[in-house]
Amino acid sequence: MKKQIYLLFFFSLITISIAAQTPTSPANDSIQYVQIKTLDGNTYIGSILEETSELLLIKTQSAGEIKITKNQIKKLKRFSANQLKDGKYWFENPNATRNLYGPTGYGLEKGEGYYQNFMIFLNSVNVGITDNITIGAGFLPVGLENGFNFLITPKFSVPVVPEKVNLAGGLLYARFFEENMGILYGVGTYGPKDHNATLGLGYGFLNGELAKRPIITVSGMTRVGRKFGLVTENWFIPIENYEDDKNYFAAITYGVRYISEGVTIDFSFLRVADIEDFFILGIPLVGVVIPFGRN
């Protein structure tokens, strides 16, 4: 029964994702939209009617036509028609390259990056070296008597069909408590950055020994509002203690994501075997991501 509830949550999320990919109204791609913040603290959102080297004439939904001289503009952001919903600018999802912790098929663009803190203890930074290559590194601040604990996460991503099909492969290498461990993985993501599903396959290793069977991940995210989304990330890990055993250990996570241009915060729950009697919803998890280098 509990597994059915988790599957229902996941497939409901994917259903929302697929439905959300169908536009409710046709967008005119020839129209350019801008969000303007002026030096006196005002913010305007509208379509460009005229632009010269000295001024912008825009049409807003609430105030009609407004003429703004460029020397009064503090910040200007151009965006496409499909990012304007009900008169509000929906900024691009700043966290499309990962679900709760695991990667998606999307990659960071050159110069983009983010700092991530997971459950206070795990800190990491990821940076786009090119539009296809991302390098990440992190550390776990525990006692140095067991050596310095760190992780490295290179990733190569390819947009097969932009905003629809994205593939990525990479390595998660960790040195924890004098043990070398990690995962060689590949992932495929279907759907745009706001609504997508990801399937992953990876082989874990420990001190040079590769696992006999792969780890499988099934994940998804959907943006249900301008500043909120739903996320699920599910790991199916082979039980290597018994070579003839076909069973997998399941780690199911689901949660809510707060989204803004400057920070995203994940509130989620982890469900694994043997803890259901102690944590009805699951073990609570919190993650914070602060993006940087975005235009």
Is 28 domain-assigned?
Answer: no
User: Does 152 share its domain with 52?
Assistant: no
Question: Is 91 within the bounds of a domain?
Answer: no
Q: Is the pLDDT of residue 103 over 60?
A: yes
Tell me: do 41 and 15 sit in the same domain: no
pLDDT band of residue 4 (cuts 50, 70, 90) is: very low
Residues 16 and 37 in one domain: no
What is the distance between the alpha carbons of residues 223 and 279, in angstroms, rounded to a whole number?
27
Q: Are residues 228 and 264 in the same domain?
A: yes
The position carrying tokens 């059915």 is: 4
Give me Rg for the CA atoms of the chain. Answer: 22
Kindly tell me if the per-residue pLDDT of 244 is higher than 80.
Answer: no
Tokens at residue 222, please?
A: 């959907």
Output DSSP code: residue 154: -
What residue type is 220 in one-letter code?
Answer: G
Is the pLDDT assigned to residue 198 strictly greater than 60?
yes
Identify the domain boundary among 79, 112, 145. 79
Annotate 250-285 with b (16+ C-beta within 10 A) or e (fewer).
ebbbbbebebeeeebebebbbbbeeeeeeeeebeeb
Of 16-25, 39-48, 152-161, 241-250, highest mean pLDDT: 152-161
Q: Domain residues for 129? A: 2-23+96-292
Average pLDDT of the chain is 85
Residues 142 and 219 in one domain: yes
**Residue 115 and residue 204 share a domain:** yes
Band of residue 46 on the pLDDT scale cut at 50, 70, 90: confident
CATH of the domain at 70: 2.30.30.100
Mean pLDDT of 124-144: 89
Instruction: Check residue 23 and give its pLDDT.
Output: 41
Count of domains forming the chain: 2
Neighbouring residues of 210: CB distance < 8 A, sequence distance ≥ 6: 203, 204
Q: Read off the pTM.
A: 0.79
Decide if 85 is inside a domain: no
> Is the Cβ–Cβ distance between 106 and 166 less than 8 Å?
yes
Same domain, 126 and 164: yes
